[in-house]
Amino acid sequence: MIRGSGMYVPPGIVTNDMLSRIMDTSDEWIVPRTGIRERRYVDPAQGSSTLGVLAAQAALENAGLTAKDIDFVIFATMTPDHYFPGNGGLLATALGMETTHALDIRMQCAGFLSGLQTADAFIRSGTYDRILLVGADVHSSLMPWPESVWDVLLGRTEGPCDPGWYAKATGMRDRAVLFGDAGGALVLEANDSGDGRGFLGFRMYTDGAHWQKLYVPGGGSANRPYMTGEMQDNLDTVPIVEGRQVFRLATQLMPAAVRDVLESAGATLDEVDLVLMHQANLRINEAVQKVLELPDERVFNNIQKYGNTTSATLPLVYDEARRAGRIQPGNLVCFTALGAGLHWGAALARV
Ligand code: UT7
């Protein structure tokens, strides 16, 4: 069962108007198509493990526990601090854990959902009683422009932006406006009380045939050497997103996964108190809501404030919904996500 939740977003707010200082975009274009009004970016050199640590501390506090009470760590991210080692060990040592094992998950926007399934399986098997599941991503590190362009974006210098970088940033504007930096965490534990709280089922899917719809071409062992200056110059380190196809797949596959997990658990949609979706685009989530015929009070979105934070979206919506009083003990909550891989699925929990 979910014992506690927490989140951390860096204080630096970047509005759509601020982005329009360095690329040809506007609030008028971004809001109707994505719902995103602003996102947070970290200060330079603050990696995703740090956001994860701060979110984990908030989740532990909410659970009334300390790091010493945790048996196992799972860290989901697509933007780890380093190519290796993964963030799990960095987080464990930052929290003062000396004997805890840590697992890293690389499944992008579906990473946290997969982490929930992994944590639940470990708890059910009796391997671990208490698991800290963290999702954090720093997408601002994927933005290829130099500090002089950041200065214009953040208003530290007046501008105008260097024309060459303005043209390059405009070439990636469909992606640049979508993402934000954040960390979220849940503390999960075994529940032998018989009160029915806990995960009731998962339905998880992968279709690798769609891998080229969402991926980063530069960097990785499919290249020798795995990273070159040329890749940077050609912006091959920026994710490729076939946005319209991802939009179409997400609006079909997430509602189907929700129905599948409900059927597998012998529950109906009417019984679900809240559906929490990955936050890739508010318009995707509105379409899913419509397909499932859910009233507004049974969904919760916060992409408007944070953008798409990849592996942090589900703990972010969970934590904010809980603090807003939208999740009460005993509620039936359904989680769903879809991301690069493609990986997607749904989970059902009595919280
Ligand atoms: O979770 C993984 C990533 N998330 C997603 O992929 C979310 C799903 N994708 C989407 O929601 C949509 O694809 C976007 C909202 C990202 C983009 O909308 P779109 O309608 O698919 O835009 P597009 O890339 O096909 O571009 C349409 C037009 C183009 O102009 P022209 O060539 O028709 O003149 C783009 O250059 O809109 C232009 N455009 C923009 N204009 C201003 C694309 N992005 C922007 C922008 N500002 N940020």
Contact predicate 311/252, CB 8 Å: no
Residues 6 or more apart in contact with residue 335 via CB below 8 angstroms? 113, 116, 276, 277, 314, 318, 346, 347, 348, 349
Same domain for 79 and 165, yes or no, is: yes
Mark the ranges of the chain whose per-residue pLDDT is less than 70.
none
Atom of ligand 1 nearest to the CA of 175: 16
Q: Which of 167, 189, 211 is the last residue of a domain?
A: 189
Ligand 1 geometric centre to CA of 29 (Å):
9
Interatomic CA distance for residues 128 and 69, integer angstroms: 11
Interatomic CA distance for residues 58 and 185, integer angstroms: 8
Task: Using a cut of 0.85, tell me whether the model's pTM lies above it.
Answer: yes
Q: Total domain count for the chain?
A: 2
Same domain for 204 and 307, yes or no, is: yes
Ligand 1 geometric centre to CA of 19 (Å):
15
Q: Catalytic: which of 16, 62, 87, 109?
A: 109
Q: DSSP readout, 327-340?
A: --TT-EEEEEEEET
Q: Which of 189, 222, 248 is the last residue of a domain?
A: 189
Closest CA to 189 of 60, 57, 346, 53: 60
Q: Which of 189, 210, 240 is the last residue of a domain?
A: 189
Interatomic CA distance for residues 330 and 346, integer angstroms: 19
Atom of ligand 1 nearest to the CA of 109: 1
pLDDT tens digits along 142-161: 999 999 999 999 999 998 99
Same domain for 202 and 172, yes or no, is: no
Contact predicate 4/63, CB 8 Å: yes
Q: What is the CB < 6 Å shell around ligand 1?
A: 25, 29-30, 33-34, 109, 173-174, 177-178, 214, 241, 243-244, 246-247, 280-281, 308, 339
Same domain for 314 and 177, yes or no, is: no
What pairing do the DSSP bridges indicate for beta strands 332-339 and 274-277? parallel
Please give the distance of CA 220 from its chain centroid, rounded to a whole number: 22
* pLDDT at residue 44 in the model: 86
Same domain for 248 and 122, yes or no, is: no
Ligand 1 geometric centre to CA of 296 (Å):
26
Ligand 1 geometric centre to CA of 212 (Å):
17
Test site for ligand 1: of 174, 175, 244, most ligand atoms within 8 A of the Cβ: 174
Same domain for 169 and 273, yes or no, is: no
Contact predicate 240/216, CB 8 Å: yes
We report the CATH number of the domain holding residue 105 as 3.40.47.10
Give the domain extent around 270: 198-350
Ligand 1 geometric centre to CA of 174 (Å):
4
Same domain for 93 and 230, yes or no, is: no
Same domain for 250 and 318, yes or no, is: yes
Q: Whose CA is nearest to atom 6 of ligand 1?
A: 243
Q: Whose CA is nearest to atom 14 of ligand 1?
A: 243
Q: Catalytic: which of 62, 87, 308, 334?
A: 308
Same domain for 28 and 167, yes or no, is: yes
Same domain for 239 and 334, yes or no, is: yes
Same domain for 25 and 158, yes or no, is: yes
* pLDDT at residue 159 in the model: 85
Q: Whose CA is nearest to atom 28 of ligand 1?
A: 174
Residue 109 bears catalytic tag: yes
Residue 334 bears catalytic tag: no
* pLDDT at residue 239 in the model: 93
Q: Catalytic: which of 278, 281, 285, 343?
A: 278
Same domain for 93 and 125, yes or no, is: yes
